[in-house]
Amino acid sequence: MIERLWNGWRTAYVTRGQGAQPPNDVSLFTALLRSGRPDSETYIVRRGERVFAIMNAFPYTSGHVLVLPYREVGELEDLDAEESRELWATVAQAVRTIKAVYRCEGINVGLNLGAAAGGSVAQHLHVHVVGRWTGDTNFMVATAETKILPEALDESARRIREGWVG
């Protein structure tokens, strides 16, 4: 039987939305782009004309890349034709790169549009490209809610940057 736990305090959260941002705030990605810091510090691994690729700061696996437009948009349908073309071409390059650099057995490609869908930075859409291996999820995730990554983020960024295919 399903149990129900009533927590009325969540009404404001659900009504307002988890990812609600004041209109003058910019996304983390936009803030990084405007920071003037070098790509090696921001973990940007590829820059195109309308789109860039950056390492996920909280990766599911080593080599987890995000591909996103420079322009801050939250919805896929808000991309113009050129942004959309370059976004998907860069996603394909990221897939080829991760396969070449990490020799993974599979790849997950996806995005979460909106806070309700799990988008952690819902105002700035980003496509996840994640290499996967058989058994890459183990008891640590299930019992200790801890992900073990065998490689430091700066090393992953270096490898992806140097091995970029395309």
- The residues, ordered by sequence, that sit 6+ positions from 47 with a Cβ below 8 Å of its Cβ are 39
- The residues, ordered by sequence, that sit 6+ positions from 46 with a Cβ below 8 Å of its Cβ are 52, 53, 90, 93, 94, 160, 161, 164
How far is residue 138 from each of residues 42, 63, 135, 141, 146, measured CA to CA in Å? Answer: 30, 18, 7, 6, 10
User: Which parts of the chain are beta strand (E)?
Assistant: 44-47, 51-55, 65-69, 106-110, 127-132
The residues annotated with a catalytic role in the active site are 126
Round to the nearest angstrom and report the end-to-end CA distance of the chain. Answer: 53
Question: Rounded CA gap, 24 and 124, in Å?
Answer: 14
Question: Rounded CA gap, 105 and 52, in Å?
Answer: 25
